[in-house]
Amino acid sequence: MVERCREQEETRRRDMVRYHLRERGICSPAVLAAMTAIPRHMFVPSHLRSSAYHDRPLPIGHNATISQPSVVALMTELLTLSPTDRVFELGTGSGYQTAVLASCAGEVFSVERVPELAAMARQNLAAAGVTNARVFTCDATTITGRYAPYDAAILTAASPALPTYLYPFIRDGGRIVAPVGERDGQQLVLITVDGGIGSVEERGKVRFVPVIGRHGFADE
């Protein structure tokens, strides 16, 4: 019975990659391999596991969501990660995006402001066998240079403005992917940082829950 369930989940992941990722233009071998291997159902609440491989966001509690697979794949692909890269993530959530990043990079340093979500993410990542990601609990917009410089950074929540507070901690040529805009809709941007200055490319409209913090939105 357990083996049959495992085979069913593997089939669902392969179908997710085939129909929701490849057909939407995701082509990075590393990203496709990561999302074929990582059990997304382990990162969603148990009552939503039947929807784990649908291409839509799902609530994970505390006014947070796990992003839809195609968005996770797109944001990861835009970072063009290498196996030695050090990545900063703002917004761990349940840890799924963290796990995908960890599969494609060398180290991931993820920050989650909600202690309960951070604890959930640590548990999920350990259960999934992810060993190269660390989860911290604080306001991620008050980032310090303790683990910098980073080769890449990602915001998994909406920022009201470009995250210029991250620029000093990104290596020259490093990339940042972030949803930037209003609470009810944002533009996904790819920022390339050189000499502390960011060059911005727009990559389509998205909608994320807001970043809460010093350089984010006010907590309602």
Active site residues: 67
SS3 129: coil
For residue 206 the two structure tokens come to 């998205």
Report which residue type is found at 203. R
Measure the CA–CA gap between 135 and 137, rounded to whole angstroms. Answer: 7
Measure the CA–CA gap between 140 and 150, rounded to whole angstroms. Answer: 14
Measure the CA–CA gap between 143 and 155, rounded to whole angstroms. Answer: 13
Measure the CA–CA gap between 133 and 69, rounded to whole angstroms. Answer: 20
Place of tokens 């909600």: 114
Instruction: Report whether 217 contacts 155 (CB < 8 A).
Output: no
For residue 136 the two structure tokens come to 């911290």
CA 121 to chain centre: 12
Partnered with residue 189 across adjacent β-strands are 178, 202
